[in-house]
Structure 1
């Protein structure tokens, strides 16, 4: 048996405005467009983690609505919990610098701007279907099935 470290858990928010545009960041570390998110802290609920991460990275306060997907990065050992969120209308000026850019994109723009492993998170959140489980290698999807389909 390989002595690998345990998985880490991250959270992300697909934040949608009334006009349907989605809040996205261009990460400072790799230049990729993604929904805002990050590592869940110990003793923090997933919903609290999403609110904290979105606020830290974008300055936007959100209400967390529902879990839309669980995404397993097999290469990095990360499990990401993604939630559909809406902005409260409150924006602060202080952000943590993890984002090089912050903008609101249409669903089509987000799908084009993001790698498949992140574009699908937006598509899943917008679909209205139940939560999905997907595995990926950091860029490309490896499996697709509903979270409730375990047979």
Structure 2
């Protein structure tokens, strides 16, 4: 009999401030730099999920602007919907470098060049795609694009 696997749906926010810096977290569970995000709850819309996840992981409230990409982790059967966002509280930017949350060891703003150095390609491309017009679809193995 064939196993009937199901996909998990996650959302992530590419939060970009007025200086074109991107809000990122260093995850507590694996120490990797990633955009804030997580599993979408059954009762919430995509946008509500992005706002919740970004706030839970960074303490920053955001306005969701647009969908920038759909990404599938082929090894883990996770489909991620990624949205470009902007912070609604400018005071949050000043306190971030020392901030930490239950889910993030560290929260900070990075430039696009720093993102490319710090993140695995499968996550760095999500950030780069948020600076491009339109919406992208991509597949990856959790680290590299396929």
The alignment's TM-score, normalised by the length of structure 1, stands at: 0.88
Greater fraction strand: 1
Question: How many matched pairs?
Answer: 141
| Cα-Cα RMSD | 1.8
Report the CA distance shift for 1:105/1:95 in structure 2 as closer, same or farther (over 3 A).
closer
In proportion to residue count, which structure has more helix? 2
Q: Secondary structure at the match of 2:125?
A: helix
In structure 2, how many angstroms separate the alpha carbons of the residues matched to 1:56 and 1:42? 17
Runs of 4+ in 1 over 6 A off after TM superposition: 92-95
Distance 1:4 1:120 in 2: 30
Partner of 1:67 in structure 2? 67
Would you say the 8 A contact 2:100–2:106 is kept in 1? Answer: no
| Structure 1 counterpart of 2:134 | 130
Which runs of no fewer than 5 residues in structure 1 stay unpaired? 143-151
Q: Deviations over 1:96-132 (max 9, x none)?
A: 51111100000100111000000000000012x2110
Q: 1:120 aligns with which of 119, 125, 141?
A: 125
Contact 2:62 2:88 in 1 (8 A): yes
- Which residue is 2:144 aligned to? 140
TM-score, scaled relative to structure 2: 0.91
